[in-house]
Amino acid sequence: MTGYALLIPEFLVLAAAFWALFAELLPGHDRGSAWAGFAATAVGAAIAALQPLSATSPFAGHLEFDGPARFVRIAVLVLAAVWLLWTAGRGTGRVREAVALALFTTLGAMLMAGAVEIVTLFLAIELATMPAYVLIGYRRDDVLGMEGALKYFLLSMLTSLVMLYGFSFVYGMSGSTRFAEIDLTHSGTLGLLAVALVLVGMLAKLSAAPFHFWAPDAYEGAQPWTVAFISTVPKVAGAVATVRLLSVVAHGSASTGTIVAVVAGASMILGNLGALTQTDIRRMMAYSGVAHSGYLLVAAATLSKAGFLAAVVYSVAYAFPSLAVMLIAAEEGSGLSDFNGLSSRRPATAWALVILLLSLIGIPPLAGFFGKLFLFQAALAHGETVLVVLAVAMSVVSAGYYLRIVRAMFFAEATAEHRGAITSRVAAVAIAACVLAVIGMGIAAGPLVATLGAFAR
């Protein structure tokens, strides 16, 4: 399979996005757009999984379909399919605009995964993030949502411009925009400046410190079901884009690894300590996302092939439980007290949430444990002992706020004013798919990493 046939999953997502834009005139109307998007992403994921790996780019060095790219494309499509399935069953109000925006973000994320050229990568990043601004402020009558969207927009635009400025330095010093032809080995101080400017943009996309301050306010103002998407799909694509860029620019300065290591440590500390005091699940998961960005940067700081692969795998291992937790919050409520007595109201959902939270903590044999294990192995192999010790300590701290949710579900009584969620079989299937993904990735973690490593360049 060569040429444009390799982009069949992207074409399916694009077609579904246009379906959602004109859903009022098409069969199924509003909810039909979510079902069409689910069908497109599910079929696209199957096609992407069956496509052969390509060692060379059929698109003149702009896109490359190697092992990590295929893994991330499949993961992004599955995450989008789960979100669209839940939206079809439970999404509140009109959903067709949100579906269209989410599908355009998915398309950008897929292109980010395979981008091996600066201009292609930058356009894909903007395609993946611009619809997210609107998703955060999806309800125009919600002042907090509009405020959060504005904060996200302003910081993201500023950091994107800084990153673009850094790309101009990279092009000026190397004479090429293609990753394979970029060489900053003898660029000196100017090369370090270029690397720093580029990292500013990517770290903001990952909501890593010190560019994380937008996330808690933006998530708190947004609807939980839109936060579920925004906090996962763009982050997975951002992780693979970051490690690809690091693999290219890392040779320009010996200080690159140190910069990434400092950011990783700051993100883990600020993220976990910030989450400890939160009573709103959206803010808690926002700070948790900052911490998890720090974890994956622990491996990326090694500037090694093993570290880059571990970071990509971990981003996906984090995304599935995070998506499901926020979808459950969309059903029950975003306050911690809304989870009181969940085990008596919805025992299956409560136990599913326990599995998801244990994976986020890093308890075996779930995906989060093996994701962190691969991170720590890669970091220890390259002498990052201090970072690993810090990451383990912060993982223990994270148990403090994740287990607060478990305590509320099993040991607290439901408040009288809480009505609980209206059950939906379609939404339950979406949550179950995330739980199965968390368990399945844990079981198949070794072969998965081995396969990705065999085909990574």
CA-based nearest residue to 223, from 327, 127, 325: 327
pLDDT at residue 423, as a whole number = 65
State the Cα–Cα distance between residues 243 and 264, nearest whole angstrom: 14
Q: Give yes or no for residue 346 having a pLDDT over 70.
A: yes
Environment class of 241 (CB within 10 Å of its CB; exposed 0-12, middle 13-18, buried 19+): buried
Contacts 24+ apart (CB under 8 A), 20-23: 20/96, 20/97, 20/99, 20/100, 20/103, 21/96, 21/100, 23/96, 23/99
Instruction: Indicate the Cα dihedral angle 207, 213, 216, 221, nearest 10°.
Output: -110
pLDDT at residue 194, as a whole number = 85
* Tokens standing for residue 107: 């398309």
**Across 330-337, average pLDDT:** 87
Q: What is the pLDDT of residues 23-34, one digit of tens each?
A: 777 776 777 888
Q: What is the pTM of this model?
A: 0.93
CA distances from 355 to 73, 136, 320, 373 (A): 25, 28, 11, 18
Q: Give yes or no for residue 339 having a pLDDT over 50.
A: yes
**Across 189-193, average pLDDT:** 82
Q: Give yes or no for residue 91 having a pLDDT over 80.
A: no
Work out the pLDDT band at 344, boundaries 50, 70, 90: confident
Q: What is the pLDDT of residues 362-382, one digit of tens each?
A: 998 899 999 999 999 999 998
Tell me if residue 23 falls in helix, strand or coil. Answer: helix
Q: Give yes or no for residue 332 having a pLDDT over 80.
A: yes
Q: Give yes or no for residue 329 having a pLDDT over 60.
A: yes
**Across 440-450, average pLDDT:** 81
**Across 225-246, average pLDDT:** 89
Residue with tokens 């100017």: 190
**Across 325-329, average pLDDT:** 92
Q: What is the pLDDT of residues 38-88, one digit of tens each?
A: 999 999 999 998 877 655 556 767 888 777 888 899 999 999 999 999 998
Report yes or no: 336 and 367 within 8 Å, Cβ to Cβ.
Answer: no
CA-based nearest residue to 233, from 86, 96, 75: 75
Higher pLDDT, 333 or 323: 323
State the Cα–Cα distance between residues 148 and 280, nearest whole angstrom: 15
Neighbours of 436 (CB within 10 A): 13
Work out the pLDDT band at 176, boundaries 50, 70, 90: confident
pLDDT at residue 417, as a whole number = 64
Q: Report the share of the chain in percent with pLDDT over 70.
A: 92
State the Cα–Cα distance between residues 62 and 3, nearest whole angstrom: 12
- Give me the DSSP letters along 285-326: HHHHHHHHHHHHHHHHTT-SHHHHHHHHHHHHHHHHHHHHHH
**Across 181-185, average pLDDT:** 80
Work out the pLDDT band at 322, boundaries 50, 70, 90: very high
Residue with tokens 């622990």: 298
Higher pLDDT, 75 or 425: 75
* Tokens standing for residue 165: 């400025």
Domain ranges of the chain: 3-455
DSSP H or E segment with residue 11: helix 8-21
Work out the pLDDT band at 457, boundaries 50, 70, 90: very low
pLDDT at residue 219, as a whole number = 87
State the Cα–Cα distance between residues 379 and 372, nearest whole angstrom: 10
The mean of the pLDDT values for the chain is 86
What is the distance, to the nearest Å, from the Cα of residue 32 to the centroid of all Cα atoms in its chain?
Answer: 26
* For residue 365, cis peptide bond before it (omega within 30 degrees of 0): yes
What's at 391, amino acid-wise?
A
Report yes or no: 156 and 128 within 8 Å, Cβ to Cβ.
Answer: no
The angle subtended at Cα 239 by Cα 319 and Cα 294, nearest 5°, is 80
